[in-house]
Structure 1
Amino acid sequence: MTAPAPLPAPDGRMTQHPAAQDHPWLVAGAGLGGLALMHAWSLHPELQSQPLTLVEQSLTLSEVGAGVQLGPNATRILRQWGLEPALRDLVCQPELIQARNAQGQVVGELPLAQAVEQRYGSPYWCVHRGDLHRVLLQAVQQSVQRGDAQALQLGSTVEAVKALPQSEGSGLQVGLRQQGRELEFVKAQALIAADGVWSAVRRSHWPHSVWKDSDQVAYRTLVPMDQVPPAWRAARV
């Protein structure tokens, strides 16, 4: 698995279905969660005709991070979404998980690979976050290009959310700011916040709900297998 380069994305203007102008459903954040939701929406027979707009503050989409482990509950859904062919050459299937003590001694093992597939009917995958993000983004862009009711709007940040006045019915007023422009309020049936740890939506509604620094730091990286000492070259995690 290698870290992919950022994927070029459409410009910041909205690529939209005409129906998306009238009370769309909005999703904030084009990370793994936001893209997965949008792709699932485009496949659902009762939702795919409903206008959904995903807004993302960045103008270029990419996913930072290292590896992510996907259990059979997740890989089953990715298969149902038809994404396995695109992911097949990007994932690996470890043989087992090992738990070790501070001295490096194995204190427990959990078989994976064929054992997981046989028991749960779906595999256990390890994949780079950037690779998974790229596959999801390509699937979303395909639905937008088909002219489905989904739209992807880049360079836009959700800065405010409030309920519509009762005289205007149910729904929300969502304040969007495109880069270099003034704040603009749009109407929405609902807003789904998938804008990450530093969520602007959460700060707007729950200003006292903040992440507390644990003073613990974990550093993660990827090393090509041919550069790893021979004793460590094993299909286990």
Structure 2
Amino acid sequence: MIRIRLLSLVTGMTALALVTATPAEAQFGGIVYDPTNYAQNVLTATRSLQQINNQITQIQNQAQSLINQARNLANLPTNVLAPIQQDIDRTRQLIGQAQQIAYKVENIDQVFRQRYPSGSLAGTSNGALVGNAQTRWTDALAAYQDTLRIGATATGNIDGTRNQMGTLVTASQSATGALQAAQAGNQLIALETRQLADLTALVAAQSRAQSIESARAASDEAQGREQTRRFLTPGSGYSAQSVALFHD
């Protein structure tokens, strides 16, 4: 405001000098006054002042640019990555603690060769048939329990998800620079990734339980056919015998 007033004053003086200037020269007490020269000096001063004003404006713009750059480089003070990772680790631990049949290809292949054979059961003893049937029932029961545990964990994470999402959205809306906004967005993506991990684990557990139950049903059916065959096979199955209930 001061620069504008000073510039207006100098400009007014310049205009007045140009209006009153005459080609003639006046002499006062031995001092020669040249109005034209005076007007030129005032114009020169005005231009210099305008240049100074331009330089000041340029410096202010540069300072504001530096302030904006500093804001864009400021880190987001909010960080919810640690609790997100803890939730994911809990789900991973449940997957690693899967009962009976683990989430590993080699373990699945080994278990199926032992308890869910696809070939003939003719060479398997009756005791082995009964034992495998009992173990298969245990496999199915454990798989359903694992599914419930993972489902309970995913459901328990909902409250944490709500709180973390609210914190990140608030931080994103109050971000002072591009970096803070980007960091808030990245953490929101991490939160979504955790939700997808819970959903993936739950779907995998449900699929595992259904697959084990289907395999158990197929194996029990095959075992039932084998036991029926043995029962009906002459010489090796059941043979009627006379039994005396009373003695003379």
Category of TM-score, reference length = shorter chain: under 0.3
**Larger RCO (CA within 8 A; separation ≥ 6):** 1
Q: Which has the higher helix share?
A: 2
Q: Which has the higher strand share?
A: 1
Compute the TM-score of the two structures, normalised by the length of structure 1.
0.22
